[in-house]
Chains A and B, each alone.
Chain A
Amino acid sequence: MKSLILLIGIALMSSLFSGCMTVKSYQMMYVNDTEMMLNPQKIQQFETNFQTYREGASGANGGKVGGGCGCN
């Protein structure tokens, strides 16, 4: 069921892409705002790091998957 929901989401999003209008560079005031950046914020890395370890799950969130045992 969860996989089905995920696939529905992907299908909807892919349909959205195909219908998107191109935003011109002079119209990018909002999407270029520092709070709109799609990369994780630098200051979030510490939270992501401990959550990665405390939840036994890493990846696709900017957290590391190596370089430190995180075993404590």
Chain B
Amino acid sequence: MLQVPTEAKWGEVAVVTNSMEMQKKTSLSLALIAFLGMAQAQSNFSIDSLTTMKPMSKEVEANFLSSYYHQEGDNAAVTGGIGTEKLTDISNVFILNVPIDSVNAVNLYTGVDYYSSASTDAIDTQVSSASSSDVRAFGTLSYSRLNLVKNETYSFKVGFSTEFDYQSISAGISYSKEWNESNTQLTASGQAYFDRWALIYPIELRGSQSLSGAGRQSFNGGLIFSQILTKRLQMSLSSEIIYMSGLLSTPFHRVYFQDTEIANLEKLPNSRMKIPLSIRLHYFPFDGLVLRAYYRYYWDDFGVIGHTASLEAPIKLSQSFTFTPFFRYHTQEGSTYFAGYQEHISSDEYYTSDYDLSALNSQTYGLGIKYYPTFGIARSQPIGPKKAVLMFKYAEIRGANYQRSTGLNAFVTSLNLGFGFK
């Protein structure tokens, strides 16, 4: 049966906290305390908790999302860290969630991006290359199943992505368990991506330079622990480990050196390990306001170490309207393989002038507006013998401005239209 923490348990918490204070000088001890705290949390939550997981809704849900993205900058990697990074991307996504019955559901996620890029147009300086504008199509089909007795969810998915010079297929699995009357949830997931480049080199390097492989593989495993802390506060901890191998450089990125006038192709190691950790805290301090705080720590073996923090504050102006101002700050140490235009030495083992891997900080700020009336924006007449109704449930729009310390600026605006059919 479910156990509510007793005073004795609270005392144990205090002991743990005190021991933390005494030993906080050593990170090893803290890690141990963290482990003990987690273990104690586990002991408080009986696995045989009441079944509270809800069956799936019978409603078919659909979302149409669209976005417009534009960036300007002068550090294009295609031209060795100098030159325009002007890029425009228009993306459309369709999401469909269809419950088969109360425990089984399928989900379709599909979309198309259209982009035009001034920098990739410089792959071939004589002829406008195919990648100066391109279309990327992508899709993922997933299936999920609930076990209402064990409070578990299993899901599987397969996906693809295709564009002119890059193909990708993917597969993933996920397992989730709720306990403690659905106050606590643990999700484990794994995904694999198998990608392949069409090797397109800068025009002047064709014939003189080439890369040996065109494949790229990515494997990632993740754990998410979610916990309701109070009636108005909940949080989640997320950790991932990502391993990539194969061709991790981009075949049409140039690098210019200080000791030779001959450019070369970007060269990066053929494996990369990434470890991101994040914490999310959502708080409903009083009616009409929600605070969403997020922090992420990122490490990889290319030398990039990043810290990201964001705060969103949805303000419920009425039952139908929500305004969400938000701010995000990111800072990172650059990769050890990065240097700017003509700053590398040609004898370096690895080199890139891609400013995405440089030391930088960035700020994103903007506003979201959501219109979500209790009974929907519009609804159809009953359809068919089951009198099903199609409902236009909500609409939201969001705009964000992005400024990076390297001089890159971007703007993105997004639209989400939500529908239900029941």
A interface residue numbers (CB < 8 A to B) = 2-4, 6-25, 27-31, 33-38, 42-47, 50-51, 53-61, 65-69, 71-72
Contacts and interface: CB of A to CB of B under 8 A. Distances in A.
Nearest to B241: A59
A60 B277 contact: yes
Given A8-B30, A72-B87, 13 more contacts: A7-B31, A35-B316, A36-B282, A42-B65, A45-B65, A46-B65, A50-B410, A51-B328, A55-B330, A55-B356, A60-B276, A67-B195, A71-B250
A69 B4 contact: no
A56 B356 contact: yes
A1 B297 CA distance: 13
B276 A38 contact: no
Contacts of B274: 57-59, 65
**What 10 pairs between A and B have smallest CB-CB spacing?**
A66-B193, A14-B37, A60-B276, A17-B41, A67-B161, A46-B67, A59-B276, A72-B117, A18-B40, A30-B284
Nearest to B28: A7
A31 B138 CA distance: 33
A54 B87 CA distance: 12
A42 to B, nearest CB: 6
A59 B37 contact: no
Which of the listed residues B298, B335, B362 has the most CB atoms from chain A within 10 Å of its own CB? B298
Contacts of A69: 163, 165-166, 195, 197, 250
B2 A33 contact: no
Given A18-B5, A65-B218, A67-B193, A2 B37 contact: no
A17 B332 contact: no
B368 interface: yes
